């Protein structure tokens, strides 16, 4: 296992705290933490320094090219974006699976609020992650049997918030250049600012950092055609989000009405059927059956994006000033964190 001494010591402390916690928990909770710890240990054990892989003549040429690109993206993230300069994304792990983890989001039948899962390090988040797809599917099936709306999706990368050196992963190293950069910038943003128990704040901030980072990276590289494609993709994404938000708004009003469950259910299903038809232009989601959990999962990543983009613009694109302002909001009480654009600095 390739681990820095400080990383190894930090991991052992975390492992000790988790073992102490699970000794007080039920079997199901113990099983969840066991797979989480085991999955993280396995991932870290597979990590190899990028520098060593690039120096090794046995490294396949296609992988070598992607690692070279990732190294330049990582350097840009520090030099131009002011993101953390540490050991993260300076190693590489081959996972042998399409995703790093699978997230399961749940919501009750007549609510758009995701069920929270709380952990010793990350606090409460709006999903539960599993290193094995079968474990995620079993958890999702159990929640459905209990009457919850459930949405499961694969995640190519995740952040340990700087506690360990997160490696580049085979699950995303071969993504298109801009997508690779986007993922690295997004996950590093979590290391820069992270608020316990506020997934929407964290994810929306990271989305704004990734977007601005990719825009600057493509522009700096003189990749005009790719930049135009990236901007066009953002416009398409905004149209997709608008469709989602319209349905969310109508369902939010519906769920506040004092109607019989049968009437609520009928109107809910009609809204979701309409949404599915309107999502047809986006091939990725044609097979998805929209529900409350599906809507909640996207709200986590988009609800405050416009607010953070306004804040960045308010700071004239100065990332250092933007980060400082975000950190002030992150340190404030939850009731003082939105809508961000309507408060003074």
> How many other C-beta atoms are found inside a 10 Å radius of the C-beta of residue 93?
21
Closest CA to 168 of 331, 3, 51, 50: 50
pLDDT for res 12: 53
- pLDDT of 166 > 90? The answer is yes
In 221-304, alpha helices (H): 224-256, 261-278, 292-302
| pTM of the full structure | 0.88
Closest CA to 172 of 265, 109, 89: 89
Query: Any residues with CB less than 8 A from the CB of 106 and at least 6 apart, and which?
Result: 114, 115, 140, 143, 148, 149, 150, 151, 293
CA 77 to chain centre: 18
pLDDT score recorded for residue 163: 87
Q: Under 8 Å CB-to-CB from 275, ≥6 apart: which residues?
A: 243, 244, 247, 290
pLDDT per residue over 287-332, tens digit each?
Answer: 899 999 999 999 999 999 999 999 999 999 999 999 999 999 998 8
What is the 3 state secondary structure string of 178-221?
Answer: HHHHHHHHHHHHHHHCCCCCCHHHHHHHHHHHHHHHHHHHHHHC
Summarised one tens digit per residue, pLDDT across range 170-205 is 999 999 999 999 999 999 999 999 998 899 999 999
Single out the residue of 226, 233, 181 nearest to residue 75, CA to CA.
181
pLDDT in tens, 4-43: 444 555 555 555 555 555 555 556 777 888 888 889 989 9
- DSSP class of residue 164 equals S
> What pLDDT, on a 0 to 100 scale, did the predictor assign at position 30?
76
- Among the residue ranges 32-46, 206-220, 264-278, 311-325, the one predicted with the least confidence is 32-46
Burial class of residue 127 in the structure, from the number of CB atoms within 10 Å of its CB (0-12 exposed, 13-18 middle, 19+ buried): buried
Q: How many whole angstroms separate alpha carbon 203 and alpha carbon 299?
A: 10
pLDDT surpasses 70 at 345:
no
Closest-CA residue to 161 (of 50, 336, 10, 58) = 10
Written as six digits, the tokens of 250 are: 């109508």
User: In this model, does residue 53 exceed pLDDT 50?
Assistant: yes
| CA pair distance 110, 147, nearest whole angstrom | 11
Q: Tokens 């899962």 belong to which residue?
A: 117
| 318 phi and psi angles, rounded to 5 deg | -75, 110
The whole-angstrom separation of Cα 206 and Cα 209 is 5
- What is the per-residue DSSP string for 66-104? HHHHHHHHHHHHHHTT----SSTTSEEE--SSS-SEEEE
Query: What is the predicted pLDDT for the residue at 27?
Result: 62
Pick from 198, 165, 180: which is nearest to 326 by CA? 198
Of the candidates 205, 31, 196, which has an alpha carbon nearest to the alpha carbon of residue 125?
Answer: 196
Q: What is the pLDDT of residue 241?
A: 92
> Where is average pLDDT lowest: 109-118, 121-130, 178-187?
121-130
Distances (CA, A) of 85 to 67, 161, 209: 17, 13, 16
State residue 8's pLDDT score: 53
**pLDDT for res 203:** 94
Task: Round the average pLDDT of the chain to a whole number and report it.
Answer: 90
Is it the case that residue 3 has pLDDT exceeding 70? no
| SS3 assignment, position 150 | strand
């Amino acid at each position: 296992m390739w681990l820095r001494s400080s990383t190894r010591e930090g991991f052992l402390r975390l492992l000790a705290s988790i073992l102490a916690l699970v000794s007080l928990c039920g079997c199901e909770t113990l099983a969840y933490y066991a797979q989480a710890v085991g999955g993280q240990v396995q991932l870290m054990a597979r990590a190899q320094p990028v520098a060593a892989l690039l120096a090794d003549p046995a490294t396949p040429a296609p992988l070598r090219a992607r690692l070279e690109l990732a190294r330049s993206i990582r350097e840009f993230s520090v030099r131009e974006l002011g993101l953390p300069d540490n050991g993260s994304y300076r190693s590489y792990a081959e996972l042998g699976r399409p995703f790093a983890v699978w997230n399961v989001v749940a919501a009750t039948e007549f609510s758009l609020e995701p069920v929270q899962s709380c952990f010793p390090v990350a606090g409460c988040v709006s999903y539960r992650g599993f290193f094995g797809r079968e474990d995620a599917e079993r958890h999702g099936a159990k929640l459905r049997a209990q009457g919850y709306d459930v949405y499961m999706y694969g995640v190519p990368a995740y952040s340990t918030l700087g506690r360990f050196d997160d490696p580049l992963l085979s699950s995303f190293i071969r993504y298109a250049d801009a997508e690779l950069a986007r993922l690295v910038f997004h996950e590093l943003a979590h290391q820069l600012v992270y608020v316990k128990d506020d997934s929407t704040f964290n994810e929306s901030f990271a989305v704004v950092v990734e977007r601005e980072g990719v825009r600057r990276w493509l522009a700096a590289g003189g990749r005009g055609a790719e930049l135009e494609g990236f901007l066009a993709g953002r416009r398409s994404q905004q149209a997709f989000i608008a469709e989602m938000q319209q349905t969310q708004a109508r369902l939010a009003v519906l769920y506040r009405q004092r109607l019989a469950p049968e009437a609520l259910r009928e109107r809910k299903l009609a809204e979701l059927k309409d949404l599915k038809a309107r999502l047809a232009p986006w091939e990725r989601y044609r097979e998805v059956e929209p529900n409350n959990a599906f809507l909640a999962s996207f709200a986590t990543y988009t609800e405050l994006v416009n607010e953070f983009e306004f804040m960045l613009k308010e700071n004239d694109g100065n990332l250092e000033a933007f980060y400082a302002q975000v950190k002030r909001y992150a340190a404030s009480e939850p009731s003082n964190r939105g809508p961000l654009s309507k408060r003074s600095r």
